[in-house]
Amino acid sequence: MSTTFDASYDVVVIGGGGSGLSCAVQAAKDGLTCAVLEKEAQTGGSSSFAEGHAAFESDEQIKRGIDVTKTQAFDTYLDYSHWRADPALVSRFVENAATTIVKLRDEEGVVYEDVTVTALDQPGELTTWHLPEGEVARVIELLEADARRRGVDVFLSTAATKILQDADGKVTGVVATDADGQEVRLGAKAVVVGTGGYAGNPEMLDHYTRYGIGSRLINVGGPGNTGDGVRMMLDAGAVEHRSIGTLLLFPLMRDKTITSHTNCTGMQPYFWVDATGRRFVDEVVGLNFGHAGDVVAGLPGSMYWCLIDQAQIRHLVEDGNEIGLGIYVRNNEKMVNLPTEIEADAADEARTNVVKGATVEELAAKMGVPPAVLRAEVDAYNALCHAGVDSRFHKPAKFLFPVEEGPFFAIKMETGIMITMGAIKIDEHLRCLDKAGAPVPGLYSVGCDAGGMFGESYTLPVPGSANGFALTSGWLAADEIAAAIGAGAL
């Protein structure tokens, strides 16, 4: 029985984020007809919130005197993942990421302002974070414009619902619902899924992860990342990669912007206590926000309090922070907004995530922790600061700031999520694999829907990994499809 399609293409891309648009542009360059289905009213997905992307041995690094080899990158990915990442896929990305820089700059007009790191004191961090002018949101604008210019049909507010296959399991097209609620059936020789993962789906988060806090996570990524693509690929015979529960978590104040100086202060490696008022970690974990996110997710209530005094506020204003938040709050930036902002936060009766106390005991009462417990913890921590040695959690002496000069503030940090990473098992050719390890004919996955780049956590020592892989896997998948169609394999 034949299927009637409203239109047919060589490639249909599900998802109009960085990976999907990269794929669509390259497909058009390769002479393929292509459509992009994006369920939101605009393209970009979580890529629109990213600052930069990773590459290795790029000419942008070389002209700045930055020496990061592909071997270093490969080894870092594999070692950091405890070899749970797929070596062949990691190698494919590492070998081609620098080409992504050239493609975006020379063919799309992207201008790279800097190549840097996320945290100056993070051990082993490689200088791989390529920051484009206008951030990745500008990259998305340029890719979408080029896709349309090259004849790609970009359907917005159009949600794919099913991947169609013939009796032999070969992909034949996609079913979608358009902006008017009408069913659309598009034929395709290949379907590429890049829907950004499932960070916006609490049920899937709880199903695939160990935390059980899906409904409490603060999602700062794309609102459309609800796992639709993952579900469709599984229904089409693809299988889950063992990294499917990997999340990029980080501490975050609820209802505050990423540019907030109060929020950034809450991540500083000063003095943190849990919901019971007890110190629980070497706060230098904040230098790796992914590690810090994993820590806070596992705490009672999935939160902690960062306590600061007036001396620390003056230090942050006059000397600058210990760690920034990407380009939104720069490393070592002077936190000039902090005094006014934190006072306003504490005075806002509708806000419960910043409290102020003239004494530690008053602060504890407002935090909802036993005053005697917090007093004892503060006294013990101050003694370590004055001794210059943290015999409790071995924090470096440079970050031992005592909490002594009132009035005091406590900033409540909860668990935020940027993206999920890795869902479907693919090979180095970006082809989805079935339970027998064979490719599902015509089905490809890119970006955060694709598994194999990471182990149990995001590789923070290689900043820009998620977007680097998204932008690179997209065009690689297009080239693979063009070669397969040219060979008569699709």
pLDDT tens digits, one per residue of 389-410:
999 999 999 999 999 999 999 9
- Residue 136, SS3 per DSSP: helix
Distance of CA 309 to the CA centre of its chain: 32
- Residue 442, SS3 per DSSP: strand
Percentage of the chain beyond pLDDT 70 is 100
221 φ, ψ to 5°?
-90, -160
- Answer positive or negative: Cα dihedral of 314, 317, 318, 322: positive
pLDDT in tens, 425-466: 999 999 999 999 999 999 999 999 999 999 988 998 999 999
- The neighbour count for residue 312, using CB atoms within 10 Å, is 23
Alpha helix positions (H), 236-288:
261-265
**115: β partners:** 130
Identity of the amino acid at 344: A
Tell me the pTM. 0.94
pLDDT given for residue 1 in this prediction: 41
CATH 3.90.700.10 residue window(s) in the chain: 249-417
Going by C-beta distance under 8 Å and a sequence separation of 6 or more, which residues neighbour residue 244?
208, 422, 423, 424, 451
CATH class given for the domain over 7-246+421-486:
alpha beta
- Strand 408-420 with 354-357, pairing: antiparallel
Query: Please, how many CA atoms are within 13 Å of residue 438, restricted to the half-sphere of its CB?
Result: 6
Task: Give the chain's mean pLDDT.
Answer: 95
- CATH architecture assignment, domain 249-417: Alpha-Beta Complex (3.90)
pLDDT in tens, 26-35: 999 999 999 9
Q: Is the pLDDT of residue 84 over 70?
A: yes
pLDDT given for residue 350 in this prediction: 81
What whole-number distance in Å separates Cα of residue 395 and Cα of residue 362?
A: 27
- Strand 129-132 with 183-193, pairing: unpaired
What whole-number distance in Å separates Cα of residue 447 and Cα of residue 246?
A: 14
Query: Which range among 113-127, 260-274, 291-305 shows the weakest confidence by mean pLDDT?
Result: 113-127
What whole-number distance in Å separates Cα of residue 490 and Cα of residue 474?
A: 18
Percentage of the chain beyond pLDDT 90 is 89
CATH 3.50.50.60 residue window(s) in the chain: 7-246+421-486
H or E segment to which residue 53 belongs: strand 53-54
| Nearest partner of 321 among 305, 337, 340, judged by Cα | 337
Tokens of 188: 């395709």
pLDDT given for residue 257 in this prediction: 85
- The neighbour count for residue 327, using CB atoms within 10 Å, is 18
